[in-house]
Each structure stands twice: as C-alpha cells, then as structure tokens.
Structure 1
C-alpha cells in the first residue's frame, strides 16, 4: 500500500471513530502544504480539555457568582497516526509550527475581558493536538499533546 493510501485509510478510520463512536460534529480534513500529513479538526460533544489555571479561575468565579459556569465545547485539532509509525520531536514540532491554536471556524469565541476564567479560551489558548493512535484492529486511542510545557491538572 502506498504512503498516500495508508494515510487516507488511517484518516478515514479516525473520522469514522470520531463521528460514530464519539459523536463529534463538523469533522473536516485539513490539508496544508507545510504539514507532514493532513490533520483533522472537529467539534466534540463536550469540552475535552480545561487548562489547570483555568480550572482554578472557574472554581473561583463559580463561587463568586454562586452558579455553575457552562463549559461549551471547542473545535479541536486531531492528528491521525498508526501505532507502528515512528515520529520524532521534529515531526511533531513541524505540525505545531504549521497550525494556529484554534482550527478554522473556531475563532469566533466571545471572550469577556472581565472573566479571568476565559483567558484560556479562544485565540489565547495554547496549541494542542489530540493524537488519534490507530492499532492494527482499528482501535483508536486518544492522547493530548501540547506545544510546550503544561503543568499537570489537579484532581
């Protein structure tokens, strides 16, 4: 199987998994000349990642407001990989260098300057990619990868 066919098949497996197993919507294939391979992006049914500092600010704001702050889902980047592939730090770095923090169409998040908990949303969020690692039996496992260091979450 050629490399192009392999990547197309891998992408198809991940798109199918996101849409049919995880209820993602608006899943799109993103081709760009300076990317080592096409990426995906889409909207999960619920918010998948909250920055640890944002988590603290949300808790403070909820106590002040005495109400729960809804966490709307955000568009997320997805990088389809096969378990047997060997990627270097330079390969991942090339992907991060080629993308913006927010996938196309996700820039319209309304951010209130008064709400400190929103500083990690919209254009100010860090670059992150959901790695979609496909095994030979088409099982897909997802891992977060961030551009740079991110402190661990408090549970």
Structure 2
C-alpha cells in the first residue's frame, strides 16, 4: 500500500494534468471512507465516451431529424495510479462498488437534459449510464496516460 504522501502527490499530478493540459473544469478530489484512495471527478471540455449502442441510436435520431445531436460533456470519475502499482480485479471492483455512476455535480447536468424528452439515445446518459472510470496512469517522469475501465462488460465501439 502506498503512503498517504505518495497518494496525495499522485492525485495532485493528475489534477494538474487534467486542468492545465486537458482543459477540464470543476476538477475535485473525492475521498470517502469506503474507497481505497481518493478519486478525482471533473468536467472535460468535450464528451469523452459514447456507448456503442448509444452511438447507433444517435445516428438513427440524427437521420430522422436531419441535424446533428449535440454531444455535451459529462462529469467523469478519474482514478490516479502509479505505473508501478499492481491492482487486482477485486480492487477495481471495490472502487466500482463504492461509487455512483454519476460523480457529484453530474446530476445537475442530467436535470438540464430532461427537457429533451425520452428519445432512445438519451437513455444512455445520466443515471442510466453504466459505471466507468478514467484510469490515470502516472509514470516516473509525470507523464499521464488515460484508459477507460468499466464495471462489467461493454461491447467494442464502432469506428
């Protein structure tokens, strides 16, 4: 287990990377007693992930409407890890079991989306979305690499 000073430094590196290199806003650390370490949440400048089935529904809706559907960014969870750490599937599962699908502040965003009705593509957003975390892997030189991890199986995205 890493020391609390090491975890604080790791969190700070990722917070700074998200804010100053990737233009995220409302970036906050999030600690709770049942989490093995603090997570981070924030709002990226553009939408980072579209579920494959949502992608299909959006394409159908855009064809029917004849115009693009705006892809507003969603508040996302981020888990900072150092490259040398070895995490088991059970540790990741414990993190997923401890969080909600929507980070704090994301529920406000969901309320503003409700005005649009119950189009099929909206069913993938807000509290209906699956749990996902952006894994922030920090290397010794402070380079941060990001990977999506999901709670359960998710079919591959169509490019």
Instruction: Please name the residue that 1:128 is paired with.
Output: 132
Q: CA deviation at 1:151?
A: 0.3
Separation (CA, whole Å) in 2 of partners of 1:62 and 1:93: 36
Instruction: Please name the residue that 1:88 is paired with.
Output: 88
Tell me the secondary structure at the aligned position of residue 100 of structure 2: coil
Instruction: Please name the residue that 1:67 is paired with.
Output: 67
- TM-score, with structure 1 as normaliser: 0.97
- TM-score, with structure 2 as normaliser: 0.95
Q: CA deviation at 1:28?
A: 0.5
Instruction: Figure out how many residues of one structure are paired with residues of the other and give that number.
Output: 154
Instruction: Please name the residue that 2:17 is paired with.
Output: 17
Q: Say which structure is richer in helix.
A: 2
Q: CA RMSD in A?
A: 0.9
Tell me the secondary structure at the aligned position of residue 106 of structure 2: coil
Q: CA deviation at 1:105?
A: 1.1
Q: In structure 1, list runs of 5 or more residues that go unmatched.
A: none
Any runs of at least 4 consecutive aligned residues in structure 1 with deviations exceeding 4 A, and if so which? none
Q: In structure 2, list runs of 5 or more residues that go unmatched.
A: none
